[in-house]
Structure 1
């Protein structure tokens, strides 16, 4: 009976050890991924508060571009595509490979490529970060497709190297519904 109690006690201890919480991953993995969502939300707040003058051009298909100058844009809508390009979420990280290059001016160029057969919306992300880790340039290619819908967008953003403040952005893309024609479009804005 005593041996049976020892075996039972040993089994319980092993079961408890097996159920222990895993050790959290080091934060150095977090340093490999720039938090675009935080950056974009900060820029949305700054731009909403300052309402800078913007020269914006929109073009669809073969139509001439419509250009307007305004100081009242809905920055939540304007910059959403850049939040969609954020791959810093832990659930997305396993889908990308990362390459980093130091540039002559001290900036860092980081490129993320989606792994083959990965189910993730961002195909490619390229960032240039200043030595102070502020965004200077961003390029992202996003793909969304299912049985009924196809959308491919390329988004680019340029920011002031010292402050990280947004200076210009561009989104070009195509979207198609299964029972409709493709729609090509382009949006460019300079602050």
Structure 2
């Protein structure tokens, strides 16, 4: 079974960053984070579980390709399937207050969507995030993010994408992808990708 987390674990590039993103008091101002990616993923997990959705997946490692269709049985299954996107919540750590530059209401030249950008020039795991939305931020249509991990064994850069479509006036995840490469120190770079297309009942 191809699970994004399991797939990346095989090559030593998926680490779960555990921390609390609870709001903290910053000089009397309640800090709510840069973007509620945690809540968004959790709401998608609930919807996809209730909808008995499935996903068609294609995973590639170098020249090797594997295809599979899976239907997670419960919310735990969907959470495991999408947990790679939970890594993006690191940008909401209280210690990162002021570390990112945020611009909102930008115009997308290729569509009628607006864009919110969250970018840092610091050596943080989440280097950038773009949220494309229609009308208001709650109507998200696409999320793009760059995640970089460096340790004593390897360096890894991942480009994460989530696509949404409108279902009953709510954004529902329609596809997701992880693309990137891992370079072992004193070794070659391994290129990988995982793409999932979600099918609703």
Q: TM-score range by the shorter chain?
A: 0.7 to 0.9
TM-score by length of 1: 0.74
Q: How far does residue 71 in structure 1 lie from its aligned partner after superposition?
A: 1.7
Counterpart secondary structure, 2:58: strand
In the alignment, structure 1 residue 77 sits paired with structure 2 residue 80: yes
Q: For residue 11 of structure 1, what is the aligned residue in structure 2?
A: none
2:191 to 184, 188, 191: 184
Q: How far does residue 136 in structure 1 lie from its aligned partner after superposition?
A: 1.0
Q: For residue 53 of structure 1, what is the aligned residue in structure 2?
A: 54
2:162 to 150, 157, 160: 157
> What CA distance in whole angstroms lies between the structure 2 residues aligned with 1:187 and 1:122?
19
Q: How far does residue 106 in structure 1 lie from its aligned partner after superposition?
A: 6.9
Query: Relative to total residues, which structure has the larger strand share, 1 or 2?
Result: 2
> What CA distance in whole angstroms lies between the structure 1 residues aligned with 2:147 and 2:37?
14
Query: Relative to total residues, which structure has the larger helix share, 1 or 2?
Result: 1
Structure 1 residues 178, 52: CA separation in 2 closer, same or farther (over 3 Å shift)?
same
Counterpart secondary structure, 1:143: strand
Q: How far does residue 96 in structure 1 lie from its aligned partner after superposition?
A: 0.9
Structure possessing the higher radius of gyration over alpha carbons: 1
TM-score by length of 2: 0.71
Q: How far does residue 187 in structure 1 lie from its aligned partner after superposition?
A: 0.6
Counterpart secondary structure, 1:39: helix
Structure 1 segments unaligned to the other structure (5+ residues): 1-20
- Superposed, 1:139-150 pairs within 5 Å as 139-150=144-155
In the alignment, structure 1 residue 97 sits paired with structure 2 residue 112: no
Q: How far does residue 178 in structure 1 lie from its aligned partner after superposition?
A: 2.3
Counterpart secondary structure, 1:164: strand
Structure 1 residues 36, 182: CA separation in 2 closer, same or farther (over 3 Å shift)?
same
CA-atom RMSD in angstroms = 2.6
1:136 to 126, 141, 147: 141
Structure 1 residues 23, 96: CA separation in 2 closer, same or farther (over 3 Å shift)?
closer
Q: How far does residue 55 in structure 1 lie from its aligned partner after superposition?
A: 1.2
- Superposed, 1:13-28 pairs within 5 Å as 23-25=27-29
Q: Deviations over 1:48-96 (max 9, x none)?
A: 3433121111111022x22222223732232122221232333223221
Counterpart secondary structure, 2:117: strand
Structure 2 segments unaligned to the other structure (5+ residues): 1-24
